[in-house]
Chains A and B, each alone.
Chain A
Amino acid sequence: MIAIIDYKAGNVKSVERALRHLGVACRITNSPAKIISSEGVIFPGVGAAGKTMEVIRSLNLDSVIHEVVRQKIPFLGICLGSQIILKVSEEDDASCLNLIAGTVRRFPDMGIKIPHMGWNNISIEQRHPILSGIDREAQFYFVHSYYPEPQHREHIIATTHYGIPFASVIGRNNIVATQFHPEKSGRFGLHLLKNFTEWNGTC
């Protein structure tokens, strides 16, 4: 059973639909007991970092997510979920979960359109089970104005270029996160989600 964390915002349902399509049992929940007893936990996210962190704290989900990580349960962050796992975000100057050292930054004003919206490539920097079987030329669907910038290179799994190179897949131990939306990225997005549900949390 995969838990999709319900934090009263974000498009949790599209992740649920993708998992159901893959035949994976899942539930949308914010119950700490249900989250901790799952085989995998997904934090999908759209919205602003500050507001989301407020909601996370008010539902006590910050300590639940830390417990998920401590218990080595595979954890997948999507979009905003790849940002709030860093220490701090330039968006609303939000203090985040600090599961991976680093800062969330806004794309610099350099004549590129913001948000970064659409399909883009990823360059794999290091092998990871959730990227197994993903074609080199596969593209994924992005929509974001901020991006995660992990402090340590070893936490960057893949990068993408939009005006500047940025980390589009990051991870550490049983945590992995994509800045793009696998649930909206067609065949290869579904493949990545399937990989996650079969992952034991080790690299």
Chain B
Amino acid sequence: MLSKRIIVCLDVREGKTTKGIKFKGNVDIGDPVTMAREYYEQGVDELVFYDITASSDKRDIIIEVVREVARNIFIPFSVGGGIRTMEDMHRVLQAGAEKISVNTAAVLNPPLISEGARTFGNQCIVLGMDVKKTNKSPHIPSGYEVWINGGRKPMGIDALEWAKRGEGLGAGEICLNSIDADGTSDGYELSLTSMISGSVSIPVIASGGAGKPEHLRDVFIEGGADAALIASMVHYGQYSIDEIKSFLFEEGVPVRKVI
């Protein structure tokens, strides 16, 4: 049986793993390569590196990180943040990433998804979406709006519509981040996740809000997510991957056993 995937997200700024709350204020918490190797050995199913380096002249650091990670871990991992062009995608994949996640650039330039999918394969292209709840309106019938620039700019685009369009353009997967839930540790946004996951035929990764193993159970069972992104609940040693998976297994969620 296909397992539900547990994906650890590492936000990387100038070569260091960092963690922020609601997209504001970040603290460095370690070396991404060392952390990646630890999670790999603990039995995580996949990793995501999200480059939040602000200055463009320090962007090459992430490529070095990707190379080093690829030499050390043998599970899939994706890279997102600051990917705007085909050339950016090519560099990250060449360095050893399995997938690339596009977010702001895809909203501003949707053909980037189709070109990327055509060139590298659909399975390489993850459509990252930052979504915030809003009032339902003719423009936003689902009541969820797409934001860009790391959750700083609303776009007046309906999240459900954008997810379907992204799938049509060739995205192989959607990473759905709830801006409202992100950093709260109060649980994933279940209604958002189940709405999107039930409306597309590609896998959906739920992101934002994970604080305890129960939250993952809920997003898999009620939210219909195919994978769940976690960060702070493991970064500070509160839970291990094994503890989370054992809990999920007991709750009847299919997970890859740590053996």
Contacts and interface: CB of A to CB of B under 8 A. Distances in A.
Q: Does chain A bind chain B?
A: yes
A14 B93 CA distance: 10
A189 B40 CA distance: 13
Interface stretch (B68-76, B144-152, B153-161, B180-188): B68-76
Does more than half of chain A's interface fall in helix, strand or loop, or is it mixed? mixed
Interface stretch (B1-9, B26-34, B232-240): B1-9
B227 A118 contact: yes
Nearest to B95: A13
Contacts of B226: 113, 117-118
28 contacts: A11-B98, A14-B96, A17-B70, A17-B71, A17-B74, A17-B96, A21-B74, A46-B124, A47-B121, A113-B203, A115-B122, A117-B172, A117-B173, A117-B226, A118-B203, A118-B227, A119-B5, A119-B45, A119-B256, A120-B2, A138-B259, A141-B75, A162-B2, A181-B76, A184-B74, A184-B76, A186-B75, A189-B74
A141 B226 CA distance: 14
Contact of A137 (B2, B5, B259): B259
A55 B150 CA distance: 40
A13 B203 contact: no
B89 to A, nearest CB: 14
Interface residues of B, number: 31
Interface of B: 1-5, 40, 43, 45, 70-71, 74-76, 93-94, 96, 98, 121-124, 172-173, 201-203, 226-227, 256-257, 259
Contact of B96 (A13, A48, A118, A137): A13
A53 interface: no
Contacts of B93: 11
Contacts of A99: none
B249 to A, nearest CB: 11
